[in-house]
Amino acid sequence: MSERGRRRRLGLLLAAVALSVTGCAAATDVEEAAATRTAAPTTWFLDSGGVVPPTVPAPTSIAGFTPAIPRPGSFEVPHPAPYGTPPVLVPRPDACGGYSTPKVNNPGAVPGTGSATLTWMADARAEVTGYRVQAVAQTLVTGAQPAPVQQTVAQPSGCVQVTTTMTGLTSGETYVFWLEEAIVDSTTSVTRLVQVGASSPVTIG
């Protein structure tokens, strides 16, 4: 090989070495820049003179109130009577006793010839002034129904049995006897009739 050829080959080798060194340096710079940006993404902001705001911790209380977990408590309910003592309810000892106002009072009826004898216990309340009984026929007729036979009975003294006989009834007819009390209203002093009972159906002889 001539001298000129050796120089040309040496020049090519030197150029290849220089190109390789430059490429490695460039790759190293790119990798360092990428690593720097990944580790500290705000470096560019701090380098430009910016200020990162401080981190504010989440509040643990609201206006001085610290939340607490609710737990079951206890409470007492007032009792209308002492513990273990039931209220004592004593009915009236006489036959007029009862808890309803007015109480149910169904009269008994014994049929006779064209008549019926009715009995019931008196209601001894002061506002009861008397009674009215009505004999209601159970056979329907064409047109208007006949008016029931009525009879008034005075209030006896005390709690006793009341007895009355109704006449003018039709033999062979079946009747139901209604019992009403004449009660004086304590506010208006007006007397009104309140039905308190009815007998079983009775057929007149």
Residue 65 lies in a domain: no
The pLDDT value given to residue 125? 87
Do 117 and 31 have their domain in common?
A: no
Residue 11 lies in a domain: yes
List the chain pLDDT tens, one digit each, 205 residues.
556 666 666 666 655 555 554 544 444 554 555 555 555 455 555 555 656 666 766 655 566 667 777 777 777 777 666 667 777 887 666 667 665 666 789 999 999 999 999 999 999 889 999 999 999 999 999 999 999 999 999 999 988 999 999 999 999 999 999 999 999 999 999 999 999 999 999 999 9
For the chain, the maximum distance between any two Cα atoms, rounded to a whole number of angstroms, is 172
Residue 153 lies in a domain: yes
Do 43 and 113 have their domain in common?
A: no
* Residues of the domain holding 40: 3-47
Residue type, 77: V
Each residue of 35-51: b (16+ CB within 10 Å) or e? eeeeeeeeeeeeeeeee
Residue 122 lies in a domain: yes
Q: pTM (2 decimals)?
A: 0.55
The pair of structure tokens assigned to 69 is 């977990």
The CATH number that applies at residue 130 is: 2.60.40.10
Q: Are 123 and 83 in contact (CB under 8 A)?
A: no
What total number of domains does the chain contain?
2
The pLDDT value given to residue 191? 96
